[in-house]
Amino acid sequence: MQHWILHIDMDAFFASVEQLDNPELRGKPVAVGGTSDRSVVSAASYEVRAFGVYSAMSVVKARQLCPDIILVPGRMKRYKEVSRQAMGVLQEFSPTVEQASVDEAYLDGTGLERLFGPIDEVGRRIKARMVEVTGLTCSVGAAPVRFLAKIASDMDKPNGMFILRHDEVTDFLHTLPVKKIPGVGKKLLEILKRHGVRTCGDILLKPRTFWQERLGKYGGALHDRACGIDPNPVVVSSGAKSCSAENTFHEDTTDRVILRKWLLIQAERVGADLRRHGYKGRTVTLKVKFADFKQVTRSRSLGGRTDETSVIFEIACELLEQLQLPRAVRLIGVGVSNFESRTRQVTLFEESPHSAEATSELDKAVDEVRRKFGGKAVTRVELMGFRDKLKEPED
């Protein structure tokens, strides 16, 4: 039995949802994002991509490239709703579905040929069912291993399908640019260029040990990919993997007091989300984007897991304190990852939990008041009057 992995990628997902819900936007250059000059494009329809507009581009640049661009605000709640529908479609075909993001997933297709026919027919059925249920198109890639399936789904977008058969892998990889391999970024590309590497075939001109000596474990993995080897299976998704909040400012700032106040607001949002869904996380991550759009992240893993606003805020502030600010900041955010369910066993070496329990109960009480009377019903002393003095950034 041949092993198959499929990668399903929804086409221009956020923008396509907007065009689905508003027929007047169909066929027009639509982008999801804020309307102010401080905003960036979150998603771009294929109509606006034809002008060179892409996600993460500033709105100012996007307007220069496409004066007729139609900017619409994002609706994450709606996108998540459609995402759940899309994942439900995939689960109709296989019990082994791994959601990689809100708009893409891997599916173990091994054995599906017995139920639905050849792998080409499996792909066609998935695409047809996706349109039937969600009203949206997707692109499908199928290959013997995971990373090749992801590459394949990008070969014939939008609304395409690309099947990389087992006996085609060697020839396909021989001319495949190394930048197509997931995880190969700019820094690694520069190193590979210095060694005369442009394609996966170039990697194989030198033995695995050569790349291991120069790139460590990444060198071995890179050589494996050039050989078409990827041991990573499709793992059934077990829920969210992280929770975060971020804001882009109307005006760049270097004021650490202001930055800490926004970290507190974000820590409240993240903590409330974690508690609402019953998660605790071990890793806190700070994200900072500067005025020149350069971005840095800093993370710290805790000895235990937390859903407490105060802990998230404290760690985020410590990470910020350790970070130099060579330029003004345009965006800041905080996230928590490395989850486990809230229910767990206390170890013998854990510190006395009394103060943590008190803080957790306080968080729960604040959550309950805000659920009943609205988000502004309770305000921390540190934030009193803050939003009245400063324009609130865009999410």
Question: Is residue 44 exposed (0-12), middle (13-18) or buried (19+ Cβ within 10 Å)?
Answer: buried
Q: Which residues contact 373 (CB under 8 A, 6 or more apart)?
A: none
Instruction: Single out the residue of 126, 124, 172 nearest to residue 148, CA to CA.
Output: 172
- What type of residue is 307? D
Q: What are the CA-CA distances from residue 205 to residues 214, 222, 227 (Å)? A: 15, 13, 11
DSSP string, 94-156: -S-EEEEETTEEEEE-TTTHHHHSSHHHHHHHHHHHHHHHHS--EEEEEESSHHHHHHHHTTT
Alpha helix positions (H), 145-302:
146-153, 169-174, 186-194, 200-203, 208-215, 217-226, 256-277
Q: Which residues contact 86 (CB under 8 A, 6 or more apart)?
A: 8, 10, 103, 105, 130, 133, 134, 136, 138
Options 104, 268, 308, 394, the catalytic residue? 104
DSSP class of residue 232 equals -
Question: What is the C-alpha separation between 18 and 61, in angstroms, rounded?
Answer: 22
Asked about 104 being catalytic, the answer comes back as yes
The three-state DSSP-derived secondary structure of 311-342 is: HHHHHHHHHHHCCCCCCCEEEEEEEEEEEEEC
Q: What are the CA-CA distances from residue 229 to residues 93, 145, 365, 387 (Å)? A: 25, 7, 51, 53
Name the strand (E) or helix (H) holding 228. Answer: none
Phi–psi pair at 244, nearest 5 degrees: -145, 165
Instruction: Single out the residue of 154, 139, 162 nearest to residue 10, CA to CA.
Output: 139
DSSP class of residue 251 equals E
Taking the alpha carbons of 219, 225, 227, 231 in that order, is the dihedral positive or negative? positive
So which residues are the catalytic ones?
A: 104
